[in-house]
A and B are shown apart, each in its own frame.
Chain A
């Protein structure tokens, strides 16, 4: 594949500038109209060759536009606009300007500097994994472009004149060379792409070894996701509508690999105790306390089951506007990822718990929160299951806020509650009855219709009879409360998709879910006063929305790939810090220690292995030494071969000897002090083999021996043949 040099250079330049522009525009900081104009102008500039349209007036217009743009940017900054964004506007404008005015090498050079500035600016606004891909393309483009630009300039600077056989210098048509197809081919691009990969790898190595001892004066943060439903107050109906959003919120790795089913996994987030008829809220927002930390672990509650029934989840939680901590119920402890050895380096992190037992985290940076959760799923005991509704109603719990009802609760709801929750039922029978009623009589939908004349709950229960998880959970909570029980609404996530490429469970915003927690009093709670509930039992009244497919479609697979890449990008690039560096060093140290231990282990098995290793090494050493000596001998025998002169020298020396012998046979002998040239000049030209052949042999001899030129062996053979023929004629009798 042969390509025109000019086209390849132009294409790589455009690839470079387009990549840097894409990296800058990707996060959507500019309007669609601006992006369209920029793309259109870039496309137009491809066809605008300044060398073909030398309109000088346009230069003036471009310069004027640049000055006006600069004035606008300065004025906007003075007026309080962002310096960075305005500077980026100007850089984008400069890029377009230079694309339209790329006539000289200097213009190209300035274009590359603008592209470099665009890429640097992009690092401050684009933290998306797309930057990684664009960066790779940029590295390839910059390698191609710089090499091609270098060659272009060298051609223009150095090939201006060429001297022919005559002394007249004639100008070389640089344009012709730039249009040449002989310089650049597919192989060139392939090799330079390989070079670009090398540049990329070295850049990656530098990236990981640079010590991250920065001052972090203008630290770069990723924008946290805002997920409705996890703030202190949530309007009914908002949370359940995010089902279609595939944005991943958190990724969970399990100790034992993929779980058997994901549908039973409820990632508890935040609970609400107060319902005013339209929205849920927390009544004790400020009642939060920081949990004490022991080295790297925060203990939330005392475990009640044996350790075999605990699960551990390593959670990578994307930054969220609401700092809610998720985990499978009931969370026992939270382990932060710091190693004790590098505890001094860790960023500030703290865990808080509010009055409802919900967990929150504190972190200064907008980076993902990484933690491990240890949880146990506690089931009510038999005695708990026997507790009657009547008995629980009479308890004077300190948690009366979980029985709060809206003041305008309709009589129809109260009547339904009385119908479903009967005093003689056990707690679990009553809850199951409510759950069953909702599941069987109402349907799940995201296509909500509202009758504004009714309260949302009345509308859901008696008018529309369809809704999403939030309506179901709210209805059950209110019905249980109306029946005299303590219940609360919990928002979190249910399930998630197993990512086989990253070996983690990806929980997206679409997995958002609401459910109900029913307070189950302690076993010994028999008096009129009772301690706070020891168990909150989960009930999920929402009927299944639709059968979920377990097989991954092509789109799912692509999304899984993209998400795995996204996670690694954030984890290992954007949030790479001194902690991870120190951790990597510690890992090397651990590996070294493990190796040392393995090699110096004194156990019998290890001793046996060591002795085998030593025997193997000794045998190999002896074998290699013997082979080395043998090969060395062979080399010594071939040394002479190495030092022997090349064939053309051997051949010309033989030829000269033959020539001298021919002369000598006719009585003309070369004196020792004479050179071959002097001898031939001295000899009578009529003496065989004649002056002409002798001079040709002499010239070859001088060229090979003294000028060290490469002489074709065929030419020497031809001379040898001619000399042979002359000798034959000489020996023929006359």
Chain B
């Protein structure tokens, strides 16, 4: 956990003094009225005035905080249940025996319970929490979510605070723990999270939990963020081999006559120091008694296109895709995303085409984020069985990703691919 710098002073001190002065003056006015009521009437009226004042203040406070404060949830821990049980037992024993020392002991147990409740309330008060997600999140890939907890109390530290984040859709909370948070300071920590599916996630609820100081109770306070945090999760990436074998009819068309770092054999040459020793032709070197290096042709920058069918053909009997179909469609998206990322890593131009959208990722990586965003949000559509889908391409290669997740390379030079069920 790293400690960040303390936040700056947020409140104007002169305003605070003014507010305190006003409060003191109001208190003085009430004392004067109390005195007047008691002296001019009788002290009973003074008491009545006090009672009315307390009632009015209570109602005003309740109205002011209506809907703003959610009462914290209090749960007994196992130790708490024991302590309450012992307290009840000691209380009964004290009543039965009239033993004053048992009454004293009972008082101690009750005060421990009360202090426990008050301290846990103080611990959770004035805690500001914020959550930071990584910039890029892929499904099924663990990420670290950073949680920053700030203690805005001026003099009192907070101990053993647990932050529960309801990230999982199945309701499991992600937890992180802060052992000690000094007054007027903040700390950050992270927890490991993994999103099962791509898409847009919105989080608004966090809860602060503490068992401090005696582990008698678990006090939980829900924190609702004013602006919900939205996270876009990209499709999961798969480990796939990009088919590089070219169709036979294209052989030779893409070979360069220049020396380079491609895959086609260019010729042999004498090995110079500093060159990659992996490419030494050992047989020839042995026969010629000097080191001979294999050289390759230059790889021509190829333009590739991915066709992703995001439509589902409506069958006679079913209008919605079955579970298997939906899974395989998700697999298509994942493969598409994996191809896009792999291409960007290999510094190749790539265009992703769906029947309704098109994204281009350049060799320098630009356009990748937009493409991944598109894939994260892509929705499958159901179309009639006789519907025809047209996807045209002008690139060198095309990968066709079908709804079954099959991956194949097609010769698509200036071709139009029509996918039908």
Contact = CB atoms under 8 A, between A and B. Distances in A.
Interface of A: 109, 113, 116, 119-120, 122-124, 126-127, 131, 135, 139, 142-143, 146-147, 149-151, 153-155, 158-159, 163, 165, 167, 169, 183, 195, 198-207, 210, 212-220, 573-577, 592, 595-596, 599-600, 610, 613-614, 617-618, 620-621, 624-625, 627-628, 631-632, 634-635, 638, 641-642, 646-648, 707-708, 710, 712
A146 to B, nearest CB: 4
B179 A159 contact: yes
Given A214-B97, A628-B25, A710 B8 contact: yes
A215 B15 contact: no
23 contacts: A120-B102, A146-B213, A149-B215, A163-B191, A199-B108, A199-B115, A202-B107, A202-B110, A207-B103, A210-B107, A212-B98, A214-B97, A219-B99, A220-B101, A575-B100, A577-B98, A599-B43, A617-B32, A624-B25, A635-B22, A638-B18, A646-B8, A710-B5
A196 B258 CA distance: 85
Given A124-B99, A167-B144, A712 B15 contact: no
Contacts of B245: none
B102 A123 contact: yes
A127 B29 contact: no
Given A195-B213, A220-B98, 19 more contacts: A127-B101, A139-B108, A154-B160, A155-B179, A163-B144, A169-B192, A199-B111, A207-B107, A216-B96, A216-B98, A220-B100, A613-B39, A618-B36, A620-B28, A620-B32, A624-B29, A628-B29, A635-B15, A641-B12
B62 interface: no
> Which of B40, B90, B104 counts the most chain A CB atoms within 10 A?
B104
Given A198-B115, A599-B42, A210 B96 contact: no
A442 to B, nearest CB: 50
Given A150-B160, A206-B107, A210-B107, A116 B86 contact: yes
Contact of B111 (A150, A206, A599): A206
B112 A199 contact: yes
Interface string B69-96: 0000000000100100010001001111
A218 B96 contact: yes
A214 B25 contact: no
Which secondary structure dominates where chain A touches chain B? helix
Contact of B104 (A165, A203, A212, A592): A203
B55 interface: no
A131 B29 contact: no
Contact of B18 (A122, A206, A634): A634
Given A147-B213, A159-B177, A621-B32, A109 B79 contact: yes
B70 to A, nearest CB: 22
B246 interface: no
A167 B193 CA distance: 10
Interface string B376-396: 000000000000000000000
A710 B4 contact: yes
B35 A617 contact: yes
B190 interface: yes
Contact of B105 (A120, A147, A214, A610): A120
A632 B25 CA distance: 11
B12 A206 contact: no
Contact of A708 (B19, B130, B160): B130
Nearest to A706: B227
B26 A628 contact: yes
Contacts of B277: none
- In the A-B complex, the 9 residue pairs with the smallest Cβ-Cβ separation, listed nearest first, are A206-B107, A202-B111, A203-B107, A123-B101, A158-B177, A214-B98, A216-B98, A621-B32, A220-B99
A632 B99 CA distance: 57
Given A151-B159, A646-B10, A216 B97 contact: yes
Contacts of A219: 97-99
A625 B144 contact: no
A368 to B, nearest CB: 13
B48 interface: no
A149 B132 CA distance: 32
Nearest to A572: B100
B5 A215 contact: no
Nearest to A201: B111
Contact of B15 (A131, A641, A708): A641
Interface in B126-157: 130, 132, 142-144
A648 B106 CA distance: 54
A41 B359 CA distance: 79
A149 B177 CA distance: 17
Contact of B28 (A139, A595, A624): A624
Contacts of B180: 183
Contacts of A201: 111
Contacts of A627: 21, 25
Contacts of A146: 112, 213-215
Contact of A632 (B22, B40, B110): B22
Given A142-B112, A613-B35, A204 B5 contact: no
A378 to B, nearest CB: 42
Contact of B215 (A153, A169, A204, A617): A153
Interface string B30-48: 0111011011101110000
B170 to A, nearest CB: 21
A574 B99 CA distance: 8
Nearest to A610: B39
B97 A154 contact: no
> Which of B33, B86, B213 counts the most chain A CB atoms within 10 A?
B213
B95 A215 contact: yes
B275 interface: no
A624 B141 CA distance: 66
B239 interface: no
A576 B79 CA distance: 32
B259 to A, nearest CB: 33
B193 to A, nearest CB: 10
A646 B105 CA distance: 52
A245 B53 CA distance: 60
Nearest to A619: B32
Contacts of A153: 215
Contacts of A217: 96-97
A383 to B, nearest CB: 56
A614 B10 CA distance: 44
Interface string B153-179: 000000110100000000000010101
